[in-house]
């Protein structure tokens, strides 16, 4: 068995034991037809239910501290470790936004910090991704 397969199986066991259900809803940004028309978001396909490991950010972590200093994350932001096969980055020609609900039913909603998800690869295969999420106090993305 390849190392990447063993790591994916190990990650899946961690998710089974300590994971939380999450729902991912994908939106594509649409532009208005004239100069002053606002942009909007159009839901792209069905929502995806999966499980992931949700952790609060760690101010002692250099990556977390840097993102907080840059203003990309704030108090209430979380990290989500999730299967490497999920898409969090741009689709060619469109801006992809992802809304993440944590829990079943979702008790809190988050938006994806625009890093696209950081994949951790072995042998060219994405084992898992680390995604930073900011809280959505009203539960909706702007333009939704």
User: What does the pLDDT look like over 60-82, one tens digit per residue?
Assistant: 888 888 888 888 888 888 999 99
**Cα separation of 82 and 53, whole Å?**
7
Helix (H) / strand (E) containing 65 = helix 62-69
Q: Which residues, 6 or more positions from 15, have their beta carbon under 8 angstroms from its beta carbon?
A: 51, 52, 53, 83
Distance of CA 60 to the CA centre of its chain: 22
CATH 2.40.10 given to domain 3-135: yes
- Top pLDDT among 51 and 89 is at 51
**Cα separation of 70 and 50, whole Å?**
30
Where do the domains of the chain lie? 3-135
**Cα separation of 117 and 67, whole Å?**
14
The average pLDDT across 93-105 equals 83
Residue with tokens 């939106």: 27
- DSSP symbol at 63: H
Band of the pLDDT at 24, cuts 50, 70, 90? Answer: very high
């Amino acid at each position: 068995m390849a190392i990447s397969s063993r790591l994916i199986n190990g990650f899946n066991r961690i998710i089974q034991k300590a994971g939380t259900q999450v729902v991912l809803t994908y939106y594509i940004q649409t532009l208005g037809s004239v100069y002053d028309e606002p942009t909007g978001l159009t839901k792209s396909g069905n929502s995806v239910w999966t499980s992931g490991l949700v952790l609060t950010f760690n101010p002692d972590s250099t990556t977390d501290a840097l993102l907080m200093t840059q203003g990309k994350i704030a108090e209430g932001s979380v990290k989500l470790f999730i299967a490497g096969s999920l898409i969090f980055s741009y689709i060619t020609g469109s801006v992809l936004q992802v809304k993440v609900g944590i829990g079943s039913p979702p008790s809190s909603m988050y938006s994806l910090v625009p890093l696209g998800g950081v994949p951790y690869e072995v042998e060219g295969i994405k084992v898992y991704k680390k995604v930073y999420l900011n809280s959505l106090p009203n539960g909706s993305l702007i333009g939704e």
